[in-house]
Chains A and B, each alone.
Chain A
Amino acid sequence: MPGYTLTRHIRENLPQLEEGAASGLDVKVHGPREEVVELGGADAWRIRWSYKGDLGRVQLVQYTFVREGQVYLFTYSTLKQWEESADVFAASARSIQIGAPPEAESSKAGGLIAFEGERQEETSDIYVVPASGGTERRLTRTGKDASPMWSPDGKLIAFRSARDGNDEIYVMRAAISSGSPAIPRPPRTRHGRRTASESCSRVGVATRARATCTR
């Protein structure tokens, strides 16, 4: 989404920000970026997106703005509307890398396959590889990410991660352009996060191995 559109969204949908700007609020549009958003869902795996209805039409746009020296993250989705995150990313915002514009993203039909790669012992991350063959590309670098699943519109990838100690479902933008490095260390916002005492591990069974969660 071009910056112009984002700016228009701000003006049309967030008049309170305009008022803030008039009184010294410094609004800066940083999107579109590659983001990871934690959705909650402790002890969860085998993620699948729905195909239709509101669940399948999620539009996720995020940007940051600065107010009184603090960087805030705003999230827009068709389900939750505009909302202000309580999280502050003052430190990480300075190192945010701007993602490729959508028109530069790979949108070739069936062009990529996302997968869980274990390139070092006891670690796993999300990778993509061209379905026609070629060089794989690493998308996450926590060593604790697994079970990727594209959203139906191809813009997001949901996945399972134990990056904060609990195995939960996350989502990230699938902004993958040629020459683009891995998704940078992402800022994060939390929606409906649930207290979780469960932990997950990968175990094998007689005829197959699968990701499972143990309490």
Chain B
Amino acid sequence: MFTRGSCDEGACDLYEMNADGSGVRRLTRGGQSSDGSWSPDGEQIVFWSSRRLLLDLSGGSGIFVMNADGSGNRRLTPDFDTAWNPDWSPDGETILFVGSKDDPGTGDEVTAIYRMNADGSDPRKIASPTGYWIDEPEWSPDGNSIAFFSDGQGVGAIWVMKADGTRQRPLTRSGDSHSPSWQPSSN
């Protein structure tokens, strides 16, 4: 599964193809959709989408879930100003994502890493790492740790932390680093 198009300049959509590059199929149409993540059973896809371009006020922007064939879209994060980069947990029970909300005290927008149940219920903040740009949270194969991107040390780096948000530490220190992908445990 991959994204094609420019989300910043217009339309972007999710596609899938066979592992040999054949059989490209478009999964979403209209608006903007990206950041797809399969459920472990392959039956569903959680993804970021913005429907604002279509003036679909009921849709908004945030995390959506759909069936693997592209049908049955449903928004999971109506309570967030913005939410993106979802990652389905290895056990299929929860979804990790980055969300922004206005701080009720200061009014400032605060970005943090959240987890919620796979049906969108009970979103809980896991961590508010330092840095202006926090992105790309990724479960470890055993679900006990999370890798993510943060520019909290003045340079974009890959960080890891425990699944409860504790023990945050950078793994990379030289130059910008993006897009962590954890090695699967089953070889």
Contacts and interface: CB of A to CB of B under 8 A. Distances in A.
Interface of A: 38-56, 58, 60, 77, 79-80, 105-107, 109-120, 124, 127-131, 133, 136, 146-155, 157, 169, 171, 174, 191-194, 203, 205, 207-215
B186 A205 contact: no
A44 B20 contact: no
A169 B178 CA distance: 17
Contacts of A105: 187
Contacts of B145: 110, 131
Interface stretch (B1-9, B51-59, B119-127): B1-9
A154 B183 contact: yes
Interface string B146-161: 0100000000101010
A205 B8 contact: yes
Interface string B94-136: 0000101000000001010000000000000000000001010
Contacts of A110: 140-142, 145, 182-185
Contacts of B21: 38-41, 169, 191-193
A174 B183 CA distance: 10
Given A51-B38, A210-B7, A192 B177 contact: no
Given A80-B20, A117-B176, A131-B140, A51 B171 contact: no
Given A39-B20, A113-B160, A129-B172, A45 B181 contact: no
Given A110-B142, A110-B182, A118-B176, A41 B2 contact: yes
A146 B8 CA distance: 19
A112 B182 CA distance: 6
Interface string B165-177: 0000101101111
A151 B158 contact: no
A26 to B, nearest CB: 28
B62 to A, nearest CB: 13
A32 to B, nearest CB: 14
Contact of B187 (A54, A128, A154, A169): A154
A52 B41 contact: yes
Contacts of B5: 43, 213
A113 B35 contact: no
Nearest to B36: A48
A60 B135 CA distance: 32
Contacts of B158: 113, 115, 129
Given A146-B179, A213-B4, A52 B42 contact: yes
Contact of A154 (B1, B142, B171, B184): B184
A25 to B, nearest CB: 26
B40 interface: yes
B4 A112 contact: no
